[in-house]
Amino acid sequence: MPDKEIEKALNSQIQKEANSSQLYLSMASWADQNGLSGTAQFLYAHSDEERLHMLKLVKFINERGGKAKIPKLDTPKDNFESLEELFIDLLNHEIMVTNAINEIVHICIQKKDYTTHNFMQWFVAEQLEEEALARNVLDKIKLIGNDKGGLYLFDRDIVNMVTTETPGQI
């Protein structure tokens, strides 16, 4: 890795992606415990996807001659008052990740590291999709309100929103 500041920022992003995976795993477990099996399936898949994002970064750093650091994981939040709270937290988390990715892109531009800048464009596009998906899910939850039948249909249908990225694709 030619620039230590960029390497440090990418390693920090590895931590964020790993913690994202843990957070979504915790959210999936909560959904499972609360009878929301479709939501749990969606979140388990999302957790796997975040781990793949982490692996992309690890491989990129190492391929460029840097040293990827495998982080210690934070203990994620594991209790939510409602499905709406869970997805508000998910959206806020994705916004934080987007901001961190944008900061890496900014550093790349300042340092004229166009290789890393190009690599990060995949993450920029991915974050746009992640935030849009979270907002879309929140809109549906708000439409449902307290309607148990609507919640049942939502939980059944959210599995169709599962990502198409599969483990091993990095």
> What's the token pair of residue 155?
């939980």
The single-letter DSSP state of residue 160 is G
Is 17 within any annotated ligand binding site?
yes
The Cα 141–Cα 87 span in angstroms is 9
Is 84 within any annotated ligand binding site?
no
- One DSSP character per residue, 104-144 reads HHHHHHHHT-HHHHHHHHHHHHHHHHHHHHHHHHHHHHHHH
The Cα 69–Cα 85 span in angstroms is 32
Is 53 within any annotated ligand binding site?
yes
Q: What are phi and psi for residue 72, nearest 5 degrees?
A: -75, 145
Block residue for tokens 């230590």: 4
Is 50 within any annotated ligand binding site?
yes
The Cα 48–Cα 95 span in angstroms is 19
Are the C-beta atoms of residues 25 and 73 closer than 8 Å to each other? Answer: no
Is 63 within any annotated ligand binding site?
no
Show binding-site residues for Fe cation: 17, 50, 53, 94, 127
Show binding-site residues: 17, 50, 53, 94, 127
